[in-house]
A and B are shown apart, each in its own frame.
Chain A
């Protein structure tokens, strides 16, 4: 089983604050990795560096064998278009666009043709076909997060980064979302990195690593693990 994400001693310092202090991590393809840790421990920073929307001050990040630290901003942008999907805690949907258009948006940006089929497929995957023409403000939080997941999947990324995806949802809705993510990871073979401090969310993941003060302190997956293990 190949490695999806491999970080080597990455550090990220915000001035004097060292958010990451040498994180070395390797995540096999198809694994759902949970990152837990107290607030301020560096979870979000780690995901940002892996997703190419933040740059580590030191160390390397390779995704599916490609080094993303050395890429230019434009290269990184292009890479992001197809290789990675983001799920934000607060959904971050475009309020003026319908659910369908939100899902279609990354495909449009990536210049994909025949977007309609894929967008509907993604909406179907998250169970929102009927809501395709509704706009985010008309939807519940759970529905919005599902649209966000569909959007993240639209360009068939191999890597999904979700930062506390259930942070703003109640327990029942969280369970729905987590079950959905589980289904996606299993069915599409996607690698999912999710941060959370919610035990419920962490109970769905394959492996949990814990961070403290910018370092991984436990559950460090050192070698290839079998997905779903």
Chain B
């Protein structure tokens, strides 16, 4: 009964303070929406990571492979039996394996199977023309036309066209297989073209086999057996579409084989040779739409389990889907990183939202203080009051969940649509489903929000009846955390951890040595900035009142500034009044400045990394033509051993590149494997590399990738050192120091050419830490040293040109595919092309990156909105409380204008100081912590190092937002105060 009446009372009180209740509700709703949106976004991003991971596998490198760009690689589990050597299977054994696959494996694949393909083939047979075909092959009867396996594959008919002839017996529409009829096969067009075999021809198949036969009970002996089959080629087939995902064996391979029907295989072939099956493949194409973020781990686990089971069944039976499993594993790792990053980036946002709730709840309680006092005086126990607030909080939490959860779709979509900080993609990504964890988190957030409203209620419940004066006097005291020195207590461990982080580059948490690249074991690293900001913000807000006092003292003697003086003095005197709003402001600005800088740094780092690795806008990997024809280009090592003439490569003159539309300038950059001769104490040097460049053009083209912190002096100067002498050599600084080199000293490199390795003597000219193309993000610094020299000198010393890359500056509007095509038409053999711009674009669109920036953006928007709102509420309420004071000031002779200035002064000074303190902390935080954030696993390359960049434009944006909001708040509070008649002198009898 009592509880019910208390609940009703709580409801009534909520209804009485609609504006505040709405704000409270808003805060809690935002908390709920964020909490629920994050998992929704994460799961949608994970989904995209997953699809992308699968798609990347398909897309491979840049469109040079000849595969159509839209080729879909299905999610397939391919088991194969590869009977190497003697492990040939009999037909019965193939049936046994097939039964095993069908019963034990296929039903347990976790995902629905959309297509099962089975393939079986024999060891190759030698194919010779048979008697009646003989006359067409008069020359050499001992040489087979080729070697081909007998094979069959399910569903073949749907994917081929018959050039000529009819299907072999046993296929639908063809004659039945009979025990004494001809053995009928078909061959692919490629084979037919190569050998001249045509439909209707007879062929003779021969195969030799060693069989172990029993001599007596104890001994066995190997005997050679020869088998012969006569078969008729009834048809020549060709694949309908070579790129079809159906071809689990490349059609080019199948075309060389002799394909027949399964019946022919079982009734005829298997009778002739007992053991001959060497390759079987079971391919299960799974429904990749059924592959979800939730079941990936299960699929991977199951794949492992099945592969073990298959191996136990037969050691030759393996699951050979490394690529896909590793894609999935890669996905799992990335998605875990994504979750972690999101959590880390969203935690502070969440903290700000909650502190907003506490702030507003505190205001609500204050507003209700009078009533509370009355309740207490009428005998309500603290428990009753606590219960009342709990009921109030529970109700708000319920409404917040009801509104916040649907809202979270929008928030998640917002997160998903961010390309980079504060920039959204024109085609928004709509998030349309919520994972179950969303709801749980939403409820948790609502409960947390409700609990946050109870914080101020708790202390209010304990309080006794106090009047206006006493209440205002209390706000003159210090907040609890200041009295308890919590800020300092928190700052000490933060400072220690920071010191350690900066010393070691990584944190040792709880005595365990953690690997630098594993963010899961190093969460403090990511939380540290937030903790430090909290501590520093608290500490700073301790001094803010003193700052106001100081400012007040400064303007104290200036008569026209009296209202400002009064405002500053009031701020100096009542810190507890605005501590919440101030902290909110400091945190928001701090986190926003830090987050924006982190985002900017990440963005720039991506660009830096790509330009560092590519050297310029475009890098073409080209090869020369070998002087030994008929070999594959670029792989000269294939030259036959009996060649006497050394092989070398012929290059088209590189000037031709300038004819390509879109290429503005080019430079050669040869990556040459080398070995440093006088580097004594070096470990394995397998990856050592010399970059031989056209210095002048290269320096211009690579300017974008030559950051000045890549060496001790600006990189432009370092590169120019190559101009001092033709044999100038740049070395790594580390190497320079380790080997006690001197500038001007001679240095010999063994140029590791495959054939004519030769020593080339250089003169050490200068040193670098990081260098485009060779010593970039993918360089193996553990096992390699890197050198840079002039291409002309190096080639001259080698007596020939070595394969080089072309680094080019291109027109941003130029089409890369077109340029590559043009280059090929000009005779350049381009085997790969790296386009920095499109790489940047595609990296920027990686879901995990977008997640990061989405979180930063959303956090920024929410925090700014909530801060402004919190500030507005604070301002309105505080002035409502001050209405009497304002009236008294008016009665004492402050004019209306002066009173307005007083009001503006209080808000303006508070906002300005809060914003400045917050920004200062954010900037400091950026410089201290951003470099340490580089060790974020796979997402961020470790080289080049992070160069903290302040996103001043974004910070300015925050200031604009704040200024606009402040203007609005001030206008609103002036209007509000006017309505309250607070600008009229207080009348006698009105107090």
Contact = CB atoms under 8 A, between A and B. Distances in A.
Interface of A: 44, 47-48, 51, 53-54, 73-74, 77-78, 80-82, 86, 88-97, 105-106, 108-111, 135-138, 151, 161, 163-164, 195
A77 B893 CA distance: 5
Nearest to A108: B562
Task: Select the residue from B889, B896, B989, B991 with max chain A CB neighbours within 10 A.
Answer: B989
Contacts of B562: 108-109, 111
Nearest to A167: B989
B991 A88 contact: yes
Given A77-B894, A106-B893, A161-B988, A136 B573 contact: no
Nearest to A151: B892
9 pairs of A and B residues whose beta carbons are closest in the complex: A81-B893, A137-B473, A44-B989, A163-B988, A95-B472, A96-B573, A90-B991, A53-B985, A109-B893
A110 B893 contact: yes
B890 A92 contact: no
B292 interface: no
Given A48-B988, A51-B988, A53-B985, A95 B892 contact: no
Given A97-B573, A136-B469, A109 B892 contact: yes
A96 B359 CA distance: 22
B570 interface: yes
Interface in B516-567: 559, 562, 565-566
B469 A137 contact: yes
B989 A74 contact: no
Interface in B564-582: 565-566, 569-570, 573-574
B891 interface: yes
B708 to A, nearest CB: 54
Given A82-B893, A106-B892, A135-B476, 11 more contacts: A44-B989, A53-B984, A53-B986, A96-B472, A96-B476, A97-B569, A97-B573, A109-B898, A137-B472, A137-B473, A164-B989
A118 B889 CA distance: 19
A77 B890 contact: yes
Nearest to B474: A137
A161 B985 CA distance: 14
Contacts of A77: 890, 893-896, 985
Given A80-B891, A92-B888, A96-B574, A53 B988 contact: yes
Contacts of A94: 885, 888
Contact of A138 (B473, B566, B573): B473
Interface string B741-769: 00000000000000000000000000000
Contacts, number: 98
A113 to B, nearest CB: 9
B894 A88 contact: no
Interface in B251-302: none
Contacts of A110: 893
Nearest to B570: A96
Contacts of A135: 473, 476
B160 interface: no
26 contacts: A44-B987, A44-B989, A48-B989, A53-B984, A53-B985, A73-B895, A74-B896, A78-B893, A81-B892, A86-B892, A88-B991, A89-B989, A94-B888, A95-B469, A96-B476, A96-B569, A96-B570, A96-B573, A96-B574, A108-B565, A109-B892, A109-B894, A135-B473, A137-B470, A164-B989, A195-B988
A140 to B, nearest CB: 12
Given A137-B470, A163-B989, A95 B895 contact: no
Contacts of B565: 108
B884 interface: yes
A195 B574 CA distance: 34
Contacts of B469: 93, 95, 136-137
Residue from B470, B473, B985 with most neighbouring chain A CB atoms (10 Å): B985
B884 to A, nearest CB: 7
Interface in B73-114: none
Nearest to A161: B988
B501 to A, nearest CB: 43
Nearest to A54: B987
B582 to A, nearest CB: 16
A73 B473 CA distance: 32
Interface in B934-991: 984-989, 991
A109 B985 contact: no
A74 B470 contact: no
A97 B469 CA distance: 11
Contacts of A136: 469, 473
Nearest to B885: A94
A157 B347 CA distance: 60
B296 to A, nearest CB: 61
Nearest to A110: B893
Contacts of A92: 884, 888, 986, 991
A57 to B, nearest CB: 15
Contacts of A86: 891-892, 988
Contacts of B573: 96-97
A87 to B, nearest CB: 8
A168 to B, nearest CB: 10
A46 B885 CA distance: 23
A219 to B, nearest CB: 21
Given A96-B476, A109-B889, A53 B987 contact: yes
Nearest to B571: A96
Interface string B893-918: 11110100000000000000000000
A59 B562 CA distance: 35
B988 A88 contact: yes
Most buried by B among A105, A161, A195: A105
Contacts of A151: 892
Contacts of B986: 53, 88, 92
B891 A74 contact: no
A108 B902 CA distance: 14
Contacts of A95: 468-469, 472-473, 476, 885
A146 to B, nearest CB: 15
Nearest to A75: B895
B634 to A, nearest CB: 83
Given A78-B893, A80-B893, A96-B574, A48 B987 contact: yes
A53 B255 CA distance: 106
A179 B349 CA distance: 62
B892 to A, nearest CB: 5
Nearest to B572: A96
Nearest to A98: B573
Interface string B854-896: 0000000000000000000000000000001100111111111
A111 B559 contact: yes
Contacts of A137: 469-470, 472-473
Interface in B43-65: none
A126 B991 CA distance: 22
B696 to A, nearest CB: 72
A195 B988 CA distance: 10
A171 to B, nearest CB: 21
Contacts of A81: 892-893
A221 B890 CA distance: 31
A82 B574 CA distance: 29
Nearest to B988: A163
Contacts of A96: 472-473, 476, 569-570, 573-574
A93 B895 CA distance: 18
B550 to A, nearest CB: 17
A172 B989 CA distance: 23
Interface centre among B570, B891, B893 (most CB of A within 10 A): B893
Contacts of B570: 96
Interface string B451-477: 000000000000000001110110010
A86 B988 CA distance: 8
A108 B557 CA distance: 9
B555 to A, nearest CB: 12
Nearest to B991: A90
A31 B991 CA distance: 26
A136 B473 CA distance: 8
